[in-house]
Chains A and B, each alone.
Chain A
Amino acid sequence: MSEFRLSVRHLLGIKDLTEADLHAIFRTTREFAGILERPIKKVPSLRDFTVANLFFENSTRTRISFELAEKRLSADVINFSASGSSVSKGETLLDTVNNILAMKVDLVVIRHACPGAPHLLSRHIAAQIINAGDGAHEHPTQALLDCYTLLKHLGRIDGIRVGIVGDIRHSRVALSNILALKKLGAEVRVCGPPTLIPSTVTTLGVTVEPSLDRLLAWADAVNVLRIQLERQNIKYIPSLREYARHYGIDRDRIQKLDKQILILHPGPMNRGVEITSEVADSKQAVILDQVLNGVAVRMAVLYLLAGRS
């Protein structure tokens, strides 16, 4: 029962967290993961706490995961999704949120297509904020659950080699993962079509590896990103078939290796594009374990932030 406060009041991005914050979140996550194994999976920690889930962008897994985490902590929950709301009548983000906050909400979980939307909110409203994905910027809880999954399966993060494959340019999962892994002492290499790798990525302390086979031979774990069809207004890749041939992870590539590597995917998967079904459903893939850990990680973040309110 150590006395510890997160260094932040909001979770806007991994960028703002310290290494001590990350370790405290993982330690708390481990306890919540234990609670999720019990017959009664609920604790009363946040029974006097109200959370609003504001999803201005589509989401299945993240929204359900947050909602379940909030309910397991006994918080009161209200859900909002942009479709069918007054947003389509022209209301601004601040007005929408202020109207919801007028109903005495303590914490807002927000997903928005605009990078920086949670940061804007944090400067204008009194409630605490968790970023559940802002455009192509950050998705901190996804990075936390990916790192926790690595920690659980590999026993440590310091010194491990992690490859991130796919659309690095448009991926908030990639950015948050890189920031978290570097803070925790992992080595990170990214791999993908040159058009989808920003030239500035090396300033984050990662290396670009053009060959997927070389990346797989080097890595202890790979995080396979989804090709974001909805963010491809310009053609960054000639075709999905070509992408699958050069950057898709299939059984042959995995069998060539002389070791077992861990395969992560933040979902939703495009089976047959970035990953084949055989690999996705194999024992090396911990994709469903990531989903399970997601609830425990979000419980930990909510719990630790509530202690700072």
Chain B
Amino acid sequence: MSQRVLIDRRRMELTLLRLAHQLLEHHPRLAGCCMVGIQPRGVFLARRLRDVLARLYPDFELPYAELDVTFHRDDLRRSSTPIVPESTHVPPGFSTEDRVVVLVDDVLYTGRTVQAALSAILAFGRPRSTELLVLVDRRRKRELPIEAHYVGIAVDTLDHERVLVRWPDNPDETDLVVIQSQRHV
């Protein structure tokens, strides 16, 4: 199995900084915004971004929730392995009503998870607008008309390749975004 590294630890720091600043560029002081991390893996990116924002601008407030969209997926009866959900953590009083919702996920691929998330967040109010932030955009693989507003890195991949984002709990380990080829080339 061959492996290609897209983002190493050093670049990850830069990418997170850039994404944080792009958010601020569009939404000064993050006024009227809230962030929603998509379970299971989008929440790691969302938590990192919040850390970066809190370090740079400690007095900016950004309501935050972690959302599992499993029950809103359209493939329950089609996938061979039904999915037991991860936890949804929505703080009491969290509302998307009239806010700019920034959905955060690690990899944008077919767009179906994002579609489920768009359906799921309606349970918390009617957002003024909804934006999408992803670490990796696998281009030209979409099955739905969905695009991200903020992209860490855009890549072109083949069908037999997988994009893996590693978020080690151990701070000494290296964060990595890699493409793995399932086929020996």
Q: Name A's B-contacting residues (CB within 8 A).
A: 1-6, 24, 27-28, 30-32, 34-35, 38-40, 43-46, 48-49, 73, 303-304, 306-309
Contacts A45-B71, A307-B76 given; indicate if A2 touches B84 (C-beta within 8 A): yes
Q: Does A24 lie within 8 Å of B77, measured CB to CB? A: no
Tell me, rounded to whole Å, the shortest Cβ–Cβ distance linking A104 to chain B. Answer: 14
Chain A contacts of B40 at CB under 8 A? 1
Q: Contacting B77 at CB < 8 Å: which of A27, A28, A39, A49?
A: A49
Given contacts A44-B119, A49-B77, contact A1 B71 (CB under 8 A): no
Q: B123: CB under 8 A from chain A?
A: yes
A-B contact pairs, 16 of them (CB 8 A): A1-B39, A2-B84, A27-B84, A28-B84, A30-B87, A31-B68, A31-B70, A40-B122, A44-B119, A45-B73, A73-B71, A304-B82, A306-B76, A306-B77, A306-B82, A307-B83
With contacts A1-B39, A4-B81, A38-B90 known, what are 13 further pairs, Cβ within 8 A? A1-B83, A3-B83, A27-B84, A28-B85, A31-B71, A34-B90, A35-B71, A43-B120, A46-B76, A73-B71, A304-B84, A307-B76, A309-B77
For this complex, into which size category does the number of interface residues on chain B fall? 20 to 34
**B residues 59-77 touching A (CB-CB < 8 Å):** 68, 70-73, 76-77
Beta-carbon contact of B71 and A303 below 8 Å: yes
Distance, CA A260 to CA B79, complexed state (A): 46
Please, which residue of chain A has its CB at the minimum distance from the CB of B82? A307
Given A44-B119, A48-B77, A307-B76, also A5-B82 (CB < 8 A): yes
Complex alpha-carbon distance, A43 and B39, angstroms? 17
- The secondary structure that dominates the B interface is loop
Contact A1 B85 (CB under 8 A): yes
Q: Are A27 and B85 in contact (CB under 8 A)?
A: yes
A267 to B86, CA, bound (A): 32
Report Cα–Cα, A4/B120, bound state, in Å: 22
The listed residue (A4, A32, A39) touching B82 by CB distance below 8 A is A4
Pick the most buried of A6, A46, A307, A308: most chain B CB atoms within 10 A of its CB. A307
In the bound assembly, the distance between CA atoms of A47 and B10 in angstroms comes to 46
Residues on A with C-beta less than 8 A from B120 are 43
A246 CA to B177 CA, complexed, in Å = 68
CB distance from A77 to the nearest CB of B (A): 17
- For window 111-142 of B, CB contacts with A under 8 Å fall at 119-120, 122-124
Check if A44 sits within 8 Å of B72, measured CB to CB. yes
Which residues of chain B have C-beta atoms less than 8 A from A1's C-beta? 39-40, 68, 70, 83-86
Nearest residue in B to A27 (C-beta to C-beta)?
A: B84
Report the separation of the CA atoms of residues A164 and B119 in the bound assembly, to the nearest whole angstrom: 44
CA distance A73 to B70 in the complex (A): 12
A38 in contact with B85 (CB, 8 Å): no
Of B68, B70, B76, B124, most buried by chain A (CB within 10 Å of CB) is B76
